């Protein structure tokens, strides 16, 4: 359950996690990889460490980054010696060291990078085309896991027709918004879950009466487009997709400035004036906003599939009768539907240095990793991934790792019958763990409630699969590296829009100011950015 946990602990923690991986054993491309005194082939990496690894792993077992169960596995099976050029403490130090490595060209054999870093490495001519090695060496299992993420994950690492990266895939489906509702309060009202925004408004007013003094209505944070405690799910009812690049005829347009935004902003302003939206959202980040849901002053918010783990598990721990369920986001009108917005969640790729003598090492190491963690026949999950009994996340000791883009949906599907039968059958690895957690929750263990609300009956994964079956998504169509104007101006432009939109919502500005704001956005770089995005879009088809 690694990606799910990490995503809840830190919304965008990827850059703080291990950042590279290497290998040796194929066509000569340079001089970096070499023979170890042990007779093994050195494969070099860099990475960052953090307190979580120190506390949860190194304090419990006598292993290190270079001498551990994974390094022994790679040595014994592939004849590779895992070596680190450096290990940073924290993301800031890592970024400094990595930027210096790019400047000097002193890269390890294999690196894990984001889109911006990948483009920097391509521009500096420091990495190679990885596709020939992937095509030749990747196992069927590894290929299938990459394919599950869709073509975009590979296209995002393909520049000028050359594939420079192997995606560390993630699940786009899990970016879909859902509405978390306090179920015990809903039952007190005697009504069903809201299907429209009008019904949601009515429910929130009743919830405010249940919560009593200090009730906050719809829980919202100051980052109004955040996946958690944001307003994106509400805006999607109007066909508005802020921060997305959406299809507007044959072109792409920025969702934050499309006409649909204006009507949605007007509704949000009405809700704020009525007390439907938390009046104090402007001073609350996600952590502060969560306190309302935990303390019993809030019973509804827009969120994602893992919010039962955080923050809702804390509310369950505090209140014996509390319960929450995830529901589809309400539509604008009766009988209407909402097209959930999805964006590419894959955000990191493995790349191989031009000086790496054996580029196939990356692929062979990934093959072995997925074999031990994901292959039903060859897996040794309990030893190499999550041993349990207080020792979790040893998969992080590997310099390379891979996710399965649909593993959470597969887990939720595969534990349905075992939960009905109270019998795990042939479940293993993570599926067995999620079955055990969910079964204990069903049997009354409130401390594991959150896991059951992800994987069990009526849980968030079941809701996501209903979305998937309907298939009417709107995708963020831009997944390439930042264009020149984006790199220079997008942060400033987004801040300008956010400030203007918040003024509209809080009543400081009239809704008519939306048109003026859009014109200002276009003249300040938005039009140039849109032109660049569409040039990329034409080439990506």
Q: Is the dihedral of CA 135, 136, 142, 144 positive or negative?
A: positive
The DSSP code for 526 is I
The reported pLDDT for the residue numbered 392 is 87
Taking the C-alpha atoms of residue 539 and residue 189, their distance in angstroms, rounded to an integer, is 54
Q: Which fold has domain 2-170+347-397?
A: D-Maltodextrin-Binding Protein; domain 2 (3.40.190)
Residue with tokens 């955000």: 347
Residue 19 predicted with pLDDT over 70: no
CA distances from residue 220 to 92, 109, 300, 310, 328 in whole angstroms, order as listed: 29, 44, 10, 15, 18
Say yes or no to pLDDT of 5 above 80: no
Axis crossing angle, helix 460-470 with helix 407-414, rounded to the nearest 10: 110
pLDDT in tens, 351-404: 999 999 999 999 999 999 999 999 999 999 999 999 988 898 999 999 999 999
Residue 149 · residue 275 · CB < 8 Å: no
Give the confidence band of 37 by pLDDT, cuts at 50, 70, 90. Answer: low
pLDDT tens for each residue of 228-246: 999 999 999 999 999 999 9
Per-residue CA distances from 539 to 11, 23, 130, 533 (Å): 31, 33, 21, 10
Is a pLDDT exceeding 50 seen at residue 1? Answer: no
Per the model's pLDDT, the better-predicted residue between 4 and 534 turns out to be 534
Average pLDDT over residues 207-234: 98
- Token pair belonging to 81: 């010696």
**Residue 61 CB neighbours (<10 A):** 13
Q: Is the pLDDT of residue 23 over 50?
A: no
Q: In this structure, what is the dihedral angle of CA atoms 235, 241, 242, 246, given to the nearest 10 degrees?
A: -160
Give me the pLDDT at residue 34, please: 58
Which H or E run includes 502?
A: helix 484-505
All residues at 6 or more sequence positions from 505 whose CB lies less than 8 Å from its CB, including other chains: 224, 265, 268, 269, 272, 277
Q: Among 199, 198, 217, which Cα is nearest to 275's?
A: 217
Which 8-state DSSP code applies to residue 218? Answer: B
Structure tokens at 444: 């009354």
Other C-beta atoms within 10 Å of 238: how many?
Answer: 22
* Whole-number Å distance between alpha carbons of 465 and 173: 9
CA-CA distance, 108 to 78, in Å (whole number)? 19
Per-residue pLDDT tens over the stretch 460-515: 999 999 999 999 999 999 999 899 999 999 999 999 999 999 999 999 999 999 99
Supply the mean pLDDT for the chain: 93
- Do 321 and 299 form a contact (C-beta atoms < 8 A)? no
The CATH topology of domain 175-343 is: D-Maltodextrin-Binding Protein; domain 2 (3.40.190)
Give span(s): CATH 3.40.190.10, the chain. Answer: 2-170+347-397, 175-343
- With cut-offs at 50, 70 and 90, classify the pLDDT of residue 279: very high
**pLDDT tens sequence across 424-440:** 999 999 999 999 999 99
**pLDDT exceeds cutoff 60 at 29:** no
Q: For residue 26, what pLDDT band results from cuts at 50, 70 and 90?
A: very low
Residue 540: pLDDT band by 50, 70, 90 thresholds? confident
DSSP characters for 416-469? HHHHHHT--TT--HHHHHHHHHHHHHHTT-GGGHHHHHHHSTT-HHHHHHHHHH
pLDDT tens digits, 319-332: 999 999 999 999 99
């Amino acid at each position: 359950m690694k990606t799910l946990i990490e995503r809840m602990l830190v919304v965008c923690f990827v850059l703080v996690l291990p950042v590279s991986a290497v290998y040796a054993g194929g066509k000569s491309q340079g001089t970096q990889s070499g023979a170890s005194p042990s007779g093994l082939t050195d494969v070099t990496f860099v990475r960052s460490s953090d307190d979580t690894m120190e506390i949860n792993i190194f304090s419990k077992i006598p292993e290190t980054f270079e001498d551990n169960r994974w390094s022994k596995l790679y040595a014994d099976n592939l004849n590779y010696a895992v070596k680190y050029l450096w290990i940073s403490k924290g993301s800031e130090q890592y970024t400094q060291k990595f930027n210096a490595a790019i400047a000097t060209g002193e890269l390890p054999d294999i690196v894990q990078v984001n889109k911006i870093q990948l483009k920097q490495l391509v521009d500096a001519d420091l990495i190679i085309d990885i596709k020939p090695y992937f095509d030749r060496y990747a196992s069927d299992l590894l290929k299938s896991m990459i394919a599950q993420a869709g073509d975009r994950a590979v296209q995002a690492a393909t520049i000028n027709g050359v594939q420079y990266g192997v995606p560390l895939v993630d699940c786009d489906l899990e970016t879909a918004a859902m509405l978390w509702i306090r179920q015990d309060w809903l039952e007190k009202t005697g009504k069903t879950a809201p299907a429209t925004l009008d019904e949601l408004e009515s429910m929130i007013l009743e919830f405010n009466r249940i919560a009593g003094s200090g009730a906050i209505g719809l829980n919202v944070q100051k980052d109004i487009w955040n996946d958690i405690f944001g307003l994106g799910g509400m805006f999607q009812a109007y066909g508005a997709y802020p921060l997305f690049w959406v299809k507007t005829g044959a072109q792409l347009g920025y969702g934050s400035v499309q006409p649909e935004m204006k009507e949605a902003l007007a509704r949000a302003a009405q809700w704020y004036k009525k007390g439907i939206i938390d009046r104090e959202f402007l001073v609350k980040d996600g952590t502060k906003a969560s306190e309302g849901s935990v303390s019993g002053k809030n019973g509804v918010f827009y969120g994602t599939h893992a919010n039962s783990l955080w923050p809702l598990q804390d509310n369950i721990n505090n209140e014996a009768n509390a319960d929450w369920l995830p529901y589809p986001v309400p539509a604008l009108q009766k009988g209407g539907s909402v097209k959930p917005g999805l964006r590419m969640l894959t955000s990191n790729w493995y790349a191989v240095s031009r000086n790496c003598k054996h580029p196939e090492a990356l692929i062979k190491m990934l093959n072995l990793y997925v074999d031990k963690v994901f292959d039903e026949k060859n897996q040794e999950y309990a030893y190499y991934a999550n041993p349990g009994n207080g020792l979790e996340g040893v998969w992080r000791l590997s310099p390379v790792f891979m996710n399965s883009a649909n593993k959470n949906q597969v887990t939720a599907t595969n534990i349905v019958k075992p939960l009905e039968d109270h019998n795990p059958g042939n479940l293993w690895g993570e599926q067995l763990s999620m079955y055990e957690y969910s079964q204990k929750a069903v049997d009354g263990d409130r401390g594991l409630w959150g896991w059951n609300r992800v994987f069990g009956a009526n849980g968030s994964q079941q809701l996501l699969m209903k979305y998937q079956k309907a298939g009417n998504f709107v995708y963020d169509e831009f997944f390439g590296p930042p264009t020149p104007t984006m790199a220079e101006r997008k942060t400033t432009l987004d801040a300008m829009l956010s400030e203007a939109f918040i003024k509209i919502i809080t009543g400081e500005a009239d809704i008519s100011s939306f048109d003026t704001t859009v014109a200002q956005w276009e003249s300040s770089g938005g039009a140039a950015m849109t032109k660049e995005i569409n040039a990329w879009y034409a080439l990506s088809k």
